[in-house]
Structure 1
């Protein structure tokens, strides 16, 4: 294992060594503080004050040097600008243009050195803060960030947010683009401000943009959407040997994987507009629709675990099993009408939940899609789910038929089951013919620095070193000690967790809060969706078609909202800011939904439901993005991974929400709305409070 302090020294630019964060000195300081506190020669307040002063001094050293280097680059760019102005006033030959382009590239390469300098120091700073908190049990990071980051003279922001570097990148990008246009034909000049996506961006510019994005967490719609699958680009191994992924990659298998995601989401929401009517037809109360809808989620809590474990050994077999179970479940759901049995109806939906293979879908993308396509595949995974969510209720609009074939009834209640059973049968045949099971290599042990062998393969059998991704490296480096526990940590960090208890122990307070927020938003969304048919039927006498159209419109907002957030909002504001504002908007949406004193209007219901749902969508995006960033790298693979934890949190929220609807129905439909909104409001308010307590840890 390479300790972070050693890695920092090895990565340093030699002539700048004296300007880096003195990580070794600060580690020694922590050891000294520990010893002094133990013998009683030092107290906690003095330790906080002394370490804060040391950090301030180190950060000032870094920032002053960084500004000095930026000044040198600015001076060089100013000189090159004069040469450029001179060049465009005369007929310059291609050689002079090429020389000027190379001069700009040289500045770009030097700027990359500065960006690397900033990145190494930012990582070192975060690690030493985390080490201090772990060593002394304080929330020192929260205190330090809160007092330094928002100060008008903040130097911490210079390190963590690289203020001013964007202007230098912009100058290099613009002038290289202008020179390229000038070289082609000056009269066809196009500025980067007129056309940001220049036809052939310079490789140096591409490198600069990638480095800046890595530092600032700025994003694009594709990357933003891909984060929803908890498959962050920086989490993925960047290896010269990524050809192993290419050998396992099969395009049609990926399409089948995404089709499974789409069909399952259609299956989940296709019954929502008719579940209340179906329940009453079978002799139950309309609010039993909560149990009918939620029974699928109940089974999914268990299916997510065994499908996640099964995907360690195979992808095709669990997908086949999933399709068969869903085929049976939908058939039972449809037959319940002619059998006049609410029990058969619920068993059918339980079977559908037992067929949830989303863990397999996510795992296939993680393990079998090449790195260069993985973010697109992750975005496809999220998009397929969003489209399925919209298509489910929309299809219900088309089922306004009533006929019999032999003794089987086909109407708006049973057609969702029959259509989905047919869809899963077709999918099963397509899967059997076209899916290609990827090969699995045997585990290969590697000898550690100490001479002992360490298993570096991931749980699914891939022979890629588990520590090749940047987050795993950071975790490994964060456990850097000069003592005897270094080797133990090296082995431990490479092992995926093997139980839900072990996974829970890895959850920091900020991760727990993010999972709670995910629970909250799924609860709020499920309340809006699942009780919509009952509420609109009671207050506005909406038909099944009207409810289905309303739910389809809600579902169709998912992708446009994510386009806006991923392309614009997330680049203008910090994710933690968007997170908190979104939570407040969800809270406002819930408050506006209450029926108090004045008659309940359609405008109030539609407006509040839309605000709650859209705000929850925005919240889901930034929540999962932050979750993937703060979660332990050991939860990126294996059965009990971060994706499973988030899925379980969301599924549990749906179960409780649907159960709340059914229980509240005992009080009567007139009280259903307010009764179900009270716990939603409580959960939302507590999530806002929890976010405020962990806000600075998300910096």
Structure 2
């Protein structure tokens, strides 16, 4: 791979070379400013003024050329429209087909223009980022706000593709109309049953979405997986993804994600009863539940590294380990051993292949459906989270097969063991190992600045840490905090509700399933409406405040603790944490380097490890708080959560600790 500036030049349309942003010149000018300021030969105020003028000139050059090309496209569409009107009186199938192809030609030229805008938008974002990094200013915010909100804004043409939307609409509408006319004139029974699906239109829409960072439900949900898109994907890369993609293999990866989340939460309603039946305290359920997360800290790293060479073998290994782990979990009752119980859960954590599932989507799914696949990954996780407790509530059985006890405590283990065995057979029969490709080595350069611009995958924790800006680390810290709060709420629910309300396993399962079922509706509302109405930072702040309010409502002080108080406060905490997670990860996926989309230490792995550390600490907190007595468990854990959300500076080093731990694992 090559440096970003050279990559921009390589991707330019040759006949339009003179109209692109002069990234190389502007980068050179930034270096000159830096040397002049250090030598004291220029004032910072002059630098800001001169660089703003230079940017204005570059953008004006781009926009004037863009308007000229839009006019040419509009003229061609007008001429085609007149031909289309003539066909209304004398329909001719050959002419209709020729006209449709002419519209597609306009669409292909529009796609070239969209790509022209995209390259310039990326170049503009990069040079603004480089300027801020070099001088420590917030120049980008100032420049974008002053230019984008001005009534004569030219920046809107670059970032919001003003005017191009009308061309896209005209091509789409006329192609759809010609499709209808073909059906009407050839056969009255040959009406299209589905909306127009033209490859050219699909490609144009994908380019428009990528250019504008458009927010819709699928995009918003898909960003939760932190599977970043390449800013400038090449046709060669897209073709390679098509060759490696296999629908059944993708489905098997999503099934693995779903089953693993079911496996994680199916024991939550009964973990306290299982612990007490083996002679341990009820609050040991925190360790039982958290053992899976402890092992996942390690498994995520080696599975991510393994997926550099294969997807099939790690999935096979994962299924076998999970089968063994669930059998051990189920048989712990007849062995009367808490150690076997914990060892079974550790095995389940060692079988976590979520890193493989993410990598398959990132590396093998074509760009045009990658966001939908990412949304499927997140949806499978959410559904598994809801189905796990619901399934546990249905397993109210008690019988023996030979010497094996099957009851509400052991049946989750047996059910999941058979599920993984079935999955293993399905995987062996249906999965197709994609052809591996060799990543190109970055060209040797002398400066660290050039190395930052390469597109090489991140295969070391040091490289990943260098790509994480302070703001990204804060966002990962927020993710850690909300996962801690959610894990505390879910894992201690059985103990708290049994102590205060004498809830049965079925009632706990219903409560947890209802919480899980809120995930997708909340993301629909946030992704489709709220995120389009408010800024991300506003939503982040409000959701954090609401989480704190939910915590305050949960405290048991003097008055009798009631079911409505617990349910309402828990629902407020969980939903607001979901909103916080959605917006936080959506924002993080947009600002994280595209280099973190691939490689062992990708963005998905980093977020998974941050969330896993949170779950481990949360489950340990439950067990430690249990030594103070079950009557104090609720207030102790709520106090800890409140301190976290009320004083984030206490955990300012958590992300650094996580990264150092990952470095040791690697």
Short-chain TM bin: 0.7 to 0.9
User: Given the alignment of the two structures, is residue 388 of structure 1 paired with residue 350 of structure 2, yes or no?
Assistant: no
Show the 5 A alignment for 1:187-226. 199-202=195-198, 204-218=200-214, 221-226=217-222
Counterpart position of 1:118: 117
Counterpart position of 2:40: 40
Shift of 1:575: 6.0
Cα pair 1:119 1:215 within 8 Å, conserved: yes
Counterpart position of 2:505: 544
SS at match of 1:397: helix
Q: Aligned in 2, Cα 1:251/1:23: closer, same or farther, shift over 3 Å?
A: closer
158-167 vs 60-69, greater mean Cα deviation: 60-69
User: Given the alignment of the two structures, is residue 665 of structure 1 paired with residue 664 of structure 2, yes or no?
Assistant: no
SS at match of 2:196: coil
Show the 5 A alignment for 1:512-551. 512-551=473-512
The match for 2:356 among 345, 355, 360 is: 360
Structure 1 vs Structure 2 CA RMSD: 4.2
Counterpart position of 2:661: none
Cα pair 2:121 2:158 within 8 Å, conserved: yes
The match for 2:254 among 240, 249, 258 is: 258
Shift of 1:650: 0.8
Q: Distance in 1 between matches of 2:622 and 2:151?
A: 49
Cα pair 2:554 2:569 within 8 Å, conserved: yes
Cα pair 1:332 1:345 within 8 Å, conserved: yes
Q: Aligned in 2, Cα 1:21/1:208: closer, same or farther, shift over 3 Å?
A: same
Q: Distance in 2 between matches of 1:314 and 1:106?
A: 41
Q: Aligned in 2, Cα 1:685/1:86: closer, same or farther, shift over 3 Å?
A: farther
User: Given the alignment of the two structures, is residue 608 of structure 1 paired with residue 583 of structure 2, yes or no?
Assistant: no
Shift of 1:396: 0.9
Counterpart position of 1:409: 405
Count of residue pairs brought into register by the alignment: 648
Q: CA deviation digits over 1:101-148, x for unaligned, max 9?
A: 677667655644543343222112111112212323444334444555
Counterpart position of 1:318: 314
SS at match of 2:267: coil
Q: CA deviation digits over 1:493-546, x for unaligned, max 9?
A: 465444323322221223223322322232222122112112322333321101
Q: CA deviation digits over 1:262-293, x for unaligned, max 9?
A: 22211110110111222233343333222221
Q: Aligned in 2, Cα 1:73/1:293: closer, same or farther, shift over 3 Å?
A: same
Q: CA deviation digits over 1:142-177, x for unaligned, max 9?
A: 444455555676544442223443344334433443
Shift of 1:645: 1.0
Cα pair 1:218 1:571 within 8 Å, conserved: no
Q: Distance in 2 between matches of 1:10 and 1:323?
A: 44
Cα pair 2:228 2:594 within 8 Å, conserved: no
Q: Distance in 1 between matches of 2:200 and 2:317?
A: 49
Show the 5 A alignment for 1:420-499. 420-431=416-427, 433-434=428-429, 438=433, 462-463=437-438, 465=440, 484-485=446-447, 489=451, 493=454, 495-499=456-460
Shift of 1:428: 4.1
Q: Distance in 2 between matches of 1:524 and 1:494?
A: 36
User: Given the alignment of the two structures, is residue 307 of structure 1 paired with residue 303 of structure 2, yes or no?
Assistant: yes
Q: Aligned in 2, Cα 1:215/1:535: closer, same or farther, shift over 3 Å?
A: same
56-65 vs 397-406, greater mean Cα deviation: 56-65
Q: Distance in 1 between matches of 2:361 and 2:173?
A: 37
282-291 vs 677-686, greater mean Cα deviation: 677-686
Counterpart position of 2:265: 269
218-227 vs 412-421, greater mean Cα deviation: 218-227
Q: Distance in 2 between matches of 1:401 and 1:112?
A: 61
Counterpart position of 2:126: 127
Q: CA deviation digits over 1:228-260, x for unaligned, max 9?
A: 333345479654476766666565554444333
Show the 5 A alignment for 1:576-655. 582-583=543-544, 585-595=546-556, 599-655=560-616
Cα pair 1:402 1:412 within 8 Å, conserved: yes
Cα pair 2:3 2:451 within 8 Å, conserved: no
Q: Aligned in 2, Cα 1:159/1:600: closer, same or farther, shift over 3 Å?
A: farther
Shift of 1:548: 0.4
Counterpart position of 2:639: 678
Q: Distance in 1 between matches of 2:63 and 2:205?
A: 21
Cα pair 1:580 1:688 within 8 Å, conserved: no
Cα pair 1:148 1:154 within 8 Å, conserved: yes
Cα pair 1:510 1:630 within 8 Å, conserved: no
Shift of 1:326: 2.6
Give the gaps of 5 or more residues in structure 2.
653-666
SS at match of 1:272: coil
Q: Distance in 1 between matches of 2:134 and 2:461?
A: 26
Q: Distance in 1 between matches of 2:141 and 2:337?
A: 57
* TM-score, with structure 1 as normaliser: 0.79
Shift of 1:637: 2.8
SS at match of 2:400: strand
Shift of 1:410: 2.6
Q: Aligned in 2, Cα 1:632/1:408: closer, same or farther, shift over 3 Å?
A: same
Counterpart position of 2:663: none
Q: Aligned in 2, Cα 1:236/1:628: closer, same or farther, shift over 3 Å?
A: farther
Cα pair 2:257 2:357 within 8 Å, conserved: yes
Shift of 1:372: 6.2
SS at match of 1:353: helix
User: Given the alignment of the two structures, is residue 141 of structure 1 paired with residue 140 of structure 2, yes or no?
Assistant: yes
* TM-score, with structure 2 as normaliser: 0.82
Q: Aligned in 2, Cα 1:145/1:534: closer, same or farther, shift over 3 Å?
A: farther
